[in-house]
Amino acid sequence: MNTPIINGLKKYILENNTRFHMPGHKGKDSLSFLGGLIPYIDVTEVGGTDNLHNPEGIIYESQKLSAKAFGAKESIYSVNGTTGGLHAAIMACIRPGGKALIQRDCHRAVYNALILGGITPKYIYPRYSHEYNIVTTLNPDDIEKELTEDSEIEAVIITYPSYYGICSDIKKIAEIVHKHNKILIVDEAHGSHLKFSKRLPVSALEAGADIVVQSTHKTLPAFTQSSIVHVGSDRVDIHRLRTFISMLQTTSPSYILMSSIDFAVAYMEMHGEYKLGCLLDNIEKWTSYMKDIQNLTILNKDSKNNEIHDFDNTKILLKVHGVTGKSVEDMLREKYNIQLEMSDYYYGVALTSVLDEDEDLEKLAYSIEYICKRYSYIEEDQNKIDIRQIKPKLHTTLKDGFYSDKTEIELIKSSGRIAADFIIPYPPGIPILCPGEIITEEIIQYIQALKKNNMQILGFLDYNREKIRVVK
C-alpha cells in the first residue's frame, strides 16, 4: 500500500529522537495500554458510551472529575483542541458586533474567533525586553486604562503562560477585569500542568479567570487535539457556552481523545505533584550546569525582572550567541537526535513534561555545550535584526478586511496596501499582520528578515516569490 503519512511517521520514529516537543506523553509508554485499546474504543454514541453533546453517563462523570482536579465550576471536553475551545468561549461571551480587549500576541485561533463572531478587537501590547530580545508580560495598568476609557469592551482575552513560558501578573489582571464587571478569558494552552505544583506559577483558574481553555495534550500525557474548557465563575452563561461548544465541535467526537483526557487528568491527580517535582529538580540541575557554558544564555525564572513577572521553568529557552535559534534547532535534530518544540531568530525552546527523565535533560545539556564550543558566532548576521514590536495601523475592521475582495501582489511591492490575509510566523502562530491592517516598509523588511533566516511564514501564496493577498 502507498501510505505516505504512515511511512513518514515510521521514519520519524526510527530516528529515535529525544522529544522536547508536544504532545506531553513524549512518545513514551504512558499511553501504551490505551494504544492497544484504540481499535476497540473507537466507537460512537451507543448504549453505554454516553454523548459529549449531552453527557449524562461516563463522559459526564469524567468531566466532573476534571472540574474537581482543576478547581473549576464546570469542565467541558474539546476534541477540536484549544482552537475549538477558544472559538466557543469567545463567541459565547461576546455578542456579534461587540468589542474584545485582546493581547496582540494571542494565538491565531483568537483572531479567527473574532472573525467568526463578528467581534471588534482592541489590542494591548505586552512589554518587550531589549535585554533578552523577547516579548514579555502585559502591564496590568494598560488593561485598567483601556477598560476605563472604553465601557463597550465586553471581555479581555490573554495568553498565560506564553509559548515561551513567560507569565503576566494574572491575579492583578483578573482583579482589574472584574472591577470593571468584564469577563476574563485565558488561553492556557501551555499551562494545564500548573495546577499540580506549588513550585510553578499560579494557574489561571486559581488566579480568578472566568473561562480557561487548556491543551491537555501539550503538557500532560494526552493525545494531540485533546483539550478542556474550564468555567471559573458565575459570570459565564454556562448554557450559552455549552451551546457554542456543541455547535463548533464535530458531531462525531473521538472517544480516543476523550479517553486520553480521562487518563491524563487521573495520572496528574495521582502522580503529578511528585513527577513535576522530579522534573523541576532535574531542570534546575542541568540548567545550572548550562549556566557555566560560555556563549549561552538561558532564560528562566532566575531571569525575572520588571518585564518578566513569573516564568514556567518547564520551558527551557536556549540562546547560543552568534547562532540563530533555528540553526540550533536544526543542529540538535541532525547531529544529536534531539527535537525542540520550536525556535525563533534568537531562541530554541525545549518543552518538557512529566514524562521527561534526567537522561533526556543530560543529553540536551551536553549537546548544547558542544554546539556552543564549536559553532558560536559562526553566523555573521546574528543580532543585526532588531526584533521589535511592530504595531500596524488599522485601515478597516478585521472582519471587513478578511471578507474583502482580494488581489495578489508581491510582498516587496505591497507597502501602503491593506492586508487581506494573516501573515504569521509559525511557530508560535502570532500574527505580524492581520486583515485590515496597513502594510509598511518596516513590516516588509521584518518579514523578509525572518524568511531569510529560515523561519516559516504562513500567509504567502507563492513562498519563493513572496506573493500575498491584499484588499483589491
Give me the CATH number covering residue 362. Answer: 3.90.1150.150
445 within 8 A of 412, measured Cβ to Cβ: no
**In-domain check, residue 407:** yes
Residue 322 clears pLDDT 90, i.e. is over it: no
Indicate if the pLDDT at residue 379 is higher than 60.
Answer: no
**What CATH number did the domain enclosing 236 receive?**
3.40.640.10
Residue 102 included in any domain: yes
pLDDT tens-digit map of 160-206 = 999 999 999 999 999 999 999 999 999 999 999 999 999 999 999 99
pLDDT at residue number 120: 94
**Residue 197, amino acid:** S
pLDDT of 386: 56
Same domain, 211 and 125: yes
Which of 57-66, 330-339, 378-387 is predicted least confidently? 378-387
Determine the structural domain holding residue 140 and report its residue range: 29-266
Pick from 280, 292, 367, 345: which is nearest to 316 by CA? Answer: 280
63 and 195 within one domain: yes
Q: Are 226 and 304 members of one domain? A: no
Domain shared by 260 and 289, yes or no: no
Backbone angles phi, psi at 276, to 5 degrees: -65, -35
193 contacts 354 by C-beta, under 8 angstroms = yes
Verify that 43 and 63 share a domain, yes or no: yes
Answer yes or no: do 297 and 355 share one domain. yes
Is 70 exceeded by the pLDDT of residue 304?
no
d(C-alpha 110, C-alpha 139), whole Å: 20
Residues 90 and 151 both lie in one domain: yes
- Residue 20 · residue 352 · CB < 8 Å: yes
User: 99-136 burial by CB neighbour count: b if 16+ within 10 A, else e?
Assistant: bbbbbbbbbbbbbbbbbebebbbbbbebbebeebbbbb
Closest Cα partner for 450 from 304, 315, 345? 345
Q: How many domains does the chain have?
A: 3
CATH number at residue 413: 3.90.100.10
Instruction: Tell me how crowded residue 452 is: count the other CB atoms within 10 A of its CB.
Output: 11
The verdict on 349 and 460 lying in the same domain is no
pLDDT over 90 percentage in the chain: 78
In this structure, are 336 and 425 located in the same domain? no
d(CA 69, CA 163): 24
Q: What is the per-residue DSSP string for 258-310?
A: HHHHHHHHHHIIIIIHHHHHHHHHHHHHHHHHHHTSTTEEEESGGG-BTTB-E
